[in-house]
A and B are shown apart, each in its own frame.
Chain A
């Protein structure tokens, strides 16, 4: 009898436990469904692939400027960002304000997920809005631009009487000088597909894509009318001196980005290709480091080139329940004060808003001319739906470095991937 009683009590406890759990869920769900707070504030959600630290000042500014809108910031890691946002959008549970890259903005615009923002977009320069346009409408507002150049150790250059190069040949020459002095010229984490991608593309930009001959390549490429193989080969053969002269070595595929940064920060290497996002890490590792940034160079002397483009584009979800609130926020961002607030945590980049100009930190002094000339370009931003193939370009360059294939095969592989993405 006792056994039966105990077993009945246990069963009852289990059942109660289950239903208690269910009950709690349904009562908790209700308040969450309200997107408007009881006191008249609208609640909107914003997603971004950089941490909240990079938009801290912006969010504070928005709290003051648009007090009737409450912004919930959601950070999603870069490696999952597109997948998570795509899933949310297709389930009609997307964020109200979406930070877009040019490629994802194009995809979402085509699928009808974004509201057009032409009126606000008119306040920005074409260079910023062109990569966020589709079918004659602007779908995202460009944020502070990002750029990548060559950080260099001023002390090592001064101590050894080495001057900043103005052409590619001069660059190879100074690298050789550093090698003779027993100093590693360039720290590179070639385990990642990024360094050789950006370095080689900067050279091709300087020598081809920025010239009259190559200006329309990007557009032709995304329309399927051009291919990398047969067009870029000669420029990449010249650029390959970076490999044949031992500046990029095969050993470097065993080093990743953080380790290369460490080599540069501790003075073991003279140069390191990177951008504003690494500056704080480098200077915190070595506060005594005198650091400056030089641009990439082509074969002919010029103001130099940086790889870069519009940073995150702020877009409004077409099916957002608080579209007006979201638009209000975008309006507040599209002012000089708004851009300044965003710039606070992203110093070095420039704003595309007409009339917003910022002081360039000292760490980028040698790239000032390049930035002023507007020589900041990101080739794959023009590849439309195939923009994602820039990763494949980087990994194929790794195979090229390791001697697995020649330039033609490397470019052919990228072309195949691009074709597949364009036909999707």
Chain B
């Protein structure tokens, strides 16, 4: 048996490099390079009518983004969507996880039932809810209302279309948030609850003084990923409303597809994309900092 030579620190480094090289190359080629190209194009006059003779136009495209009402509406709608979805996911997912952590007979079945919607693609969920919320007599909800003698409820007016979409997404994704909270809950030591019991804490007090502070890691994950994912929403909007009626549910990705790609304004679309990147970066930084402060307060 050969003697195992003692490894010097960092000696295996060069082997690790070979192993990650393929993944790194793909990442650079398909993620970083296009991103850098997008920034480059945002300063040119690249359109589908001018695909090769690019000229530098300075900040013209960025000014255009701020002068286009549609793009500003899209950013506003995306932010509302992201905040409401993440907020409700957290507020509903957490109590749900607490309840489903207790010893219930149907606990596993209930967990599966609540998580089930998250398994489907947003496209399918969109078409499904389109049918459920339809104003026609075939729409499940309105069919029920008509049979009860009530009038039609239109879920897709300018004022409520966005909230109808958000409702379906809260239905779809609260289960996923619940699962993550469950994982965190199960890592909280029962000794802490025993100690709280000895101190005479009520259920509510236990939740706010023991559970909630220790849920910080999972709440941080849900909030940050939820906000970023919410800003990037596309599938559900495309399948439920296509951005309509009017511009009521236009979001950043929908406008990017329409103006930036379909209409051929590649350079303006790129500028819009860069602005969007900056906004998401800012939001993530602010939220991460707030969450950090919270976890520090707990330690």
CB-CB under 8 A for A402 and B157, given A395-B247, A424-B47: yes
Contacts of B156 on A, CB cut-off 8 Å?
191, 253-254
The reply to whether A251 and B48 form a contact with Cβ atoms under 8 Å apart is: no
Known: A259-B139, A263-B137. A253 touches B244 (CB 8 A): yes
Interface residues of A in 261-282 (CB under 8 A from B): 262-263, 268
B261 within 8 A of A: yes
In the complex, chain A residues whose CB is within 8 Å of the CB of B136 = 254-255, 259-260, 262-263
CB pair B134–A404 under 8 Å, yes or no, is no
Given contacts A83-B261, A388-B263, A399-B245, contact A424 B49 (CB under 8 A): yes
A151 and B162 CA atoms in complex are apart in Å by 33
Name the B residues within 8 Å of A395 (CB-CB).
243-247
CA distance A250 to B161 in the complex (A): 13
A402 touches B158 (CB 8 A): yes
Q: Check A139 for interface membership: any CB of B closer than 8 A.
A: no
Given contacts A86-B48, A253-B154, A424-B265, contact A404 B241 (CB under 8 A): no
**C-alpha spacing A253/B245, complex, angstroms:** 7
In the complex, A401 Cα to B2 Cα: how many Å? 84
Residues of A within 8 A of B244 (CB): 191-193, 253, 395, 398
Residues of B within 8 A of A (CB): 1-2, 47-49, 51, 130-131, 133-139, 152, 154-158, 241-247, 261-265
User: Contact: B264 with A424, CB < 8 Å?
Assistant: yes
Residue of A nearest to B263 (CB): A388
* Beta-carbon nearest neighbor of B156 in chain A: A254
Asked whether A29 is an interface residue with its Cβ less than 8 Å from the other chain, the reply is no
| Contact flag A107-B139 (CB < 8 Å), given A254-B156, A395-B244 | no
> Could you list some 10 contacts between A and B, CB below 8 A?
A111-B49, A251-B135, A253-B245, A254-B155, A263-B137, A268-B137, A385-B49, A395-B244, A402-B245, A421-B263
The answer to whether A110 and B245 touch across the interface, beta carbons within 8 angstroms, is no
Distance of A193 Cα from B130 Cα, bound (Å): 16
Q: Considering only CB atoms, which chain A residue lies closest to B158 in the complex?
A: A402
CB B248 to nearest CB in A, in angstroms, measures: 8
* Candidates B135, B241, B247, B262; contact of A252 at CB < 8 Å: B135
CB distance from A253 to the nearest CB of B (A): 4
* Contact (Cβ within 8 A) B48 A191: no
A181 at the interface (CB under 8 A from B): no
Give chain A residues whose Cβ lies under 8 Å from the Cβ of B135.
251-255
Question: CB distance B263 to A398 under 8 Å?
Answer: no
Is A211 close to B, CB under 8 A?
no
Could you say which residues of chain A place their CB within 8 Å of the CB of B247?
395, 399
Q: How many residues of A contact B (CB 8 A)?
A: 36
A401-B154 Cα distance, complex, nearest whole Å: 14
Interface residues of A in 91-147 (CB under 8 A from B): 107, 110-111
Whether B130 and A256, one on each chain, are in contact in the complex, defined by CB atoms closer than 8 angstroms, is yes
User: B138 near A262 (CB under 8 angstroms)?
Assistant: yes
CB <8 Å contact, A250 and B246: no
User: Chain A residues in contact with chain B, CB under 8 A?
Assistant: 1, 82-83, 86, 90, 107, 110-111, 190-193, 250-256, 259-260, 262-263, 268, 385, 388, 395-396, 398-399, 401-402, 404, 420-421, 424
Most chain-A CB neighbours within 10 Å: which of B49, B155, B246, B264? B246
Chain A, residue nearest B50 (CB)? A424
Chain B, residue nearest A413 (CB): B69
Interface centre among A250, A253, A262, A398 (most CB of B within 10 A): A253
Given contacts A250-B157, A385-B49, A404-B246, 4 further A-B pairs with CB under 8 A are A90-B51, A254-B134, A256-B134, A260-B136
Enumerate chain A residues within 8 angstroms of B261, measured Cβ to Cβ. 83
- Give bound CA distance, A190 to B265, whole Å: 28
Cα–Cα, bound, A251→B153 (Å): 7
What CA separation (Å) do A297 and B158 show in the bound complex?
Answer: 30
B142 CB → nearest A CB, Å: 8
In the complex the two chains form, what is the Cα distance from A409 to B247 in whole Å?
14
The minimal Cβ–Cβ distance linking B256 to chain A, given in whole angstroms, is 12
Q: Beyond A259-B139, A395-B246, A399-B246, is A1–B158 a contact (Cβ under 8 Å)?
A: no
Contact B246 A398, beta carbon cutoff 8 Å = yes
Residues of chain A within 8 A (CB-CB) of B133 are 254
A263 proximity list for chain B (CB < 8 A): 136-138
Please tell me if the beta carbons of A388 and B48 are within 8 angstroms of each other in the complex.
Answer: no
Contacts of A256 in B (CB 8 A): 130, 134
Q: From A111, A190, A254, A421, give the contact of B139 (CB < 8 A).
A: A254
Distance of A107 Cα from B48 Cα, bound (Å): 9
Q: Do residues A190 and B138 form an inter-chain contact, with CB atoms below 8 A?
A: no
Closest chain B CB from A53 CB (angstroms): 23
Bound-state CA distance A259–B156 (Å) is 14
Q: Complex: how many Å from CA A113 to CA B152?
A: 51
A424-B157 Cα distance, complex, nearest whole Å: 33
Chain B residues near A254 (CB, 8 Å)? 133-136, 139, 152, 154-157
